[in-house]
Amino acid sequence: MPVRRSVALVLFLGMTGLSVAAQDWPMWGGTPERNMTSAVKGLPESWSAKDGTNVKWKAPVGTVSNGNPVVADGKIFLGTNNGNPRNLEITGDKGVLMCLRESDGQFLWQAATDKLESADTDWPEEGVCSSPAVEGKRLYYVSNRAELVCLDTDGFADGKNDGIFQGELHKGPTDADIIWKLDMRKDLGVSQLFMANSSPVIWEDLVFVGTSNGRDSGDEKVPAPNAPSFLAVDKNTGKVVWQDNSPGEGILHGQWFSAALGAVDGVQQVFFPGGDGWIYAFNARTGEMLL
């Protein structure tokens, strides 16, 4: 019998026992530069989920949670699996993007995605490995099926099916409302290895993401050397604005990375770590390779 683990999301209190000053953390790394630093003062140096020391609340998620939580507009979003189903009608191994209320951990809604058939492309029980990026009422993340997905942060709780995508399988008040979806496997020919994992970053009207294009599970070849590794996508429509297939045949194994942004000599650049061990820099607007 497999061992079922329980994973919980825990929200901590400040050192004084009072909540620290509020600060959104709307993407992996906090900012588009991914500097991983917070301006919040008085964070706890120690805590215990077991006895409740410096803990405000805790809430169960799946049995595995690889997608780091982000915080925006009073909600927490994170990637996990369906090991502890929140909707008993949605059973079995799934990738899950879950939304909780920041104030008390109350479950609000989820996006549940079927697994791919082969473990070579979608490893069992790993769930959603992407940390989402949130801007206003829109959330962007990469599903376990290598889909770049835009969601309404209110889900179907508002009773409306927003966006150009209208084909959601689940449309109850605790389900996700998909605005648009880009299937990087079907539409761009990407072949992921084991998992899709990239946390999007947003600049102006663009979303930057890695495709997870990689080698086959036996490390014998790159099945899709001409498929893109790096993407810039229109955040409003899901249409590809520019793409680059570096390093092509030079991919050493998998490509599980997230882009970062920065201005250099007045040029907005986007930086991607490639699967050949090199860092690639592009003009964020045009896709011209700079480094």
- Domains, the chain, ordered by start: 8-283 (2.40.128.630)
Hey, how many other C-beta atoms are within 10 angstroms of the C-beta on 73?
12
Quick: pLDDT tens for 240-270.
999 999 999 999 999 999 999 999 999 999 9
Element containing residue 78 per DSSP (H, E): strand 75-81
Burial (CB < 10 A; 0-12, 13-18, 19+), residue 107, is middle
Distance CA 279, CA 2 (A): 40
Quick: pLDDT tens for 33-85.
998 888 888 888 898 988 889 999 999 999 999 989 999 999 999 999 999 99
Quick: pLDDT tens for 128-168.
999 999 999 999 999 999 999 999 999 999 889 999 999 99
Tally: H helices and E strands in the chain? 1, 17
Hey, how many other C-beta atoms are within 10 angstroms of the C-beta on 95?
30
- b (16+ CB within 10 A) / e for 180-213: bbbebbeebebbbbbbbbbbbbbbeebbbbbbbb
Q: Which two tokens stand for residue 203?
A: 């600049």
Q: Is the CB of residue 254 less than 8 Å from the CB of residue 214?
A: yes
Q: Which two tokens stand for residue 80?
A: 């996990």
Distance CA 55, CA 38 (A): 19
pLDDT at residue 14, rounded to an integer: 47
| pTM summary value | 0.91
